[in-house]
Amino acid sequence: MTTRTPPRVGHLAGRPEQAPALDVDALLDDPQRRIIVCCGSGGVGKTTTSAALALRAAERGRKVVVLTIDPARRLAQSLGIERLDNTPRPVAGVSTDGTGGGSLDAMMLDMKRTFDEVVLSQASPERAQAILNNPFYVTLSSSFSGTQEYMAMEKLGQLHQDALRTGRWDLIIVDTPPARNALDFLDAPERLSGFLDGRFIRLLLVPAKGPARMMTAGVGVVTNTMARIVGAQVLKDLQMFVQAFDTLFGGFRQRATKTYQLLQDSETAFLVVAAPEPDALREAAYFVERLDADRMPLAGLVVNRASAVPAGGLSAEEAEVAAGRLEQSGDSGLTSGLLRLHADRMRMIVRESRLRQRFTAAHPHVRTRVVPALSTDVHDIEGLRRIGGLLAGEVDVPA
Ligand SMILES: Nc1ncnc2c1ncn2[C@@H]1O[C@H](COP(=O)(O)OP(=O)(O)O)[C@@H](O)[C@H]1O
Ligand SMILES: [Mg+2]
């Protein structure tokens, strides 16, 4: 069993740099909160945190859907979302008895299918088919860097509409793509429509759209040169694609703007997830500043996979001294080795808390929760429940 205790920040407790604790349960229980977005740089635990929060919210009575992006295979298995079909499915093994109607659905983002659906919903059937068959569309929808980020936001918009329409969910938890840069998903809609709107593309559009006499000599030279370089068929495909897509620009921009506004709404909360490492925390700091600049509501920072503080309170120095004594007295065996390992770990813990202190000094108002690293990865409902407890500040029981 786990018990609730006041928030702890280890040996930093009481220092002025201590960050205010993030109250995850208050966040999950607030009926006004309808969207929680977990963001942060790659590999820090965004998917795990999203799934754990979703499970906890459901078990506290919310009707939750969690949108995951590229979950690890075993986690997808235990959530029952191995099949990539873009549909939220009920998760088995969730204890919602007595919660008064809590439920958990999960889905995994299918980037290409989401894009196809947008095209189908925006264009006439013939035009949509022409786009879907175009080789440039196939490339763009399956590999453009930024498409995944954009489609995650697109899917969020759709889920939000479905939630409003059907009442099936009252809380949407969104994982974000494993971007190189944590900010990518905020910039993706702009970048994608910027690309589609760009000068180069406009240039290609001229011969396709305007009457032949409007085609300036300059454009003719460019397209002729392009045709020589990339081949006439490729150029034709590209022009067709751009022309067909042109009619969708308005819709795309509008949807991107709507999602952006949704992210700024007070029903949304962002959680920035970071590892206790300089790069991840630096990235988290950028993110916090960017959210602030874009007036997007930040709920707090989760420092995930922190080194767990061992019981006993033996410091690194004490352990080193003890190990040295043992070695001097001729005992160079297991005990002194273990003491030195303990010293390494304690030094790591001190390093991590210094990094957190630095973050907090620069961002004193950001509420924070430290989640220790479990001894195994998190791939089943029980593991997610345990992470959920840690996120809420419950004291964990050693595995
Ligand atoms: N607190 C934790 N303790 C132990 N393993 C963790 C913890 N958080 C995440 N993991 C593991 O780390 C790996 C990466 O986590 P994941 O949530 O997929 O990261 P991201 O979505 O940010 O790329 C997964 O194998 C996951 O099980
Ligand atoms: Mg992930």
Dihedral sign (CA 15, 16, 18, 24): positive
Q: What are the Cα distances from residue 273, in Å, to 40, 75, 216, 368, 369?
A: 5, 18, 52, 10, 10
Please report which confidence band the pLDDT of residue 2 belongs to, taking 50, 70 and 90 as the band edges.
Answer: very low
Q: What is the pLDDT of residue 99?
A: 81
Task: Note the maximum CA span of the chain.
Answer: 96
317 CB burial (10 A radius; 0-12, 13-18, 19+): exposed
In this structure, what DSSP letter does residue 44 have? S
Nearest atom in ligand 1 to the alpha carbon of residue 371 is 1
Least confident stretch, 43-52, 93-102, 385-394: 93-102
Average pLDDT (370-386) is 95
Nearest to 161 by CA among 35, 282, 42, 322: 35
Task: Give kind and range of the element (H or E) at residue 272.
Answer: strand 268-274
Rounded CA separation 43/52 (Å): 16
Q: List, for residues 174-200, the tens digit of each pLDDT value.
A: 998 876 665 666 776 666 666 666 555
Ligand with minimal distance to 72 CA: 1
In degrees, rounded to 5, the angle at the alpha carbon of residue 155 between the alpha carbons of residues 198 and 38 is 100
Q: List, for residues 296-305, the tens digit of each pLDDT value.
A: 999 999 999 9
Dihedral sign (CA 209, 211, 217, 220): positive
Q: What are the Cα distances from residue 158, in Å, to 15, 114, 118, 155, 177?
A: 45, 10, 10, 5, 17
Structure tokens at 72: 């690890």
Greatest mean pLDDT among 16-20, 204-208, 382-386 lies in 382-386
Provide the whole-model pTM: 0.84
Nearest atom in ligand 1 to the alpha carbon of residue 372 is 1
Flag whether pLDDT at 5 surpasses 50: no
In degrees, rounded to 5, the angle at the alpha carbon of residue 50 between the alpha carbons of residues 152 and 46 is 75
- C-beta of 42 in contact with ligand 1 (< 6 A): yes
Q: H helices then E strands: how many in the chain?
A: 16, 10
Q: What is the pLDDT of residue 168?
A: 96
- C-beta of 385 in contact with ligand 1 (< 6 A): no
Dihedral sign (CA 174, 180, 182, 185): negative
Residues within 5 Å of ion ligand 2 by Cβ?
47
Give the distance (Å) from ligand 2 centre to CA of residue 40: 10
Structure tokens at 286: 């950028």
Flag whether pLDDT at 136 surpasses 60: yes
Region of 132 please: left (phi>0), alpha (psi -120 to 50) or beta.
alpha
Helix (H, G, I), strand (E, B) or coil at 370: strand
Nearest to 147 by CA among 107, 113, 106, 108: 113
Please report which confidence band the pLDDT of residue 13 belongs to, taking 50, 70 and 90 as the band edges.
Answer: very low
Average of per-residue pLDDT values in the chain: 83
Give the distance (Å) from ligand 1 centre to CA of residue 122: 37
Which of 378, 379, 381, 391 has most ligand 1 atoms within 8 Å of its beta carbon, as the pocket-test mutant? 378
Ligand with minimal distance to 272 CA: 1
Bridge partners (DSSP) listed for residue 66:
106, 173
Q: List, for residues 255-308, the tens digit of each pLDDT value.
A: 878 888 899 999 999 999 999 999 999 999 999 999 999 899 999 999 999 998
- C-beta of 377 in contact with ligand 1 (< 6 A): yes
Q: What is the pLDDT of residue 256?
A: 77
Give the distance (Å) from ligand 1 centre to CA of residue 207: 51
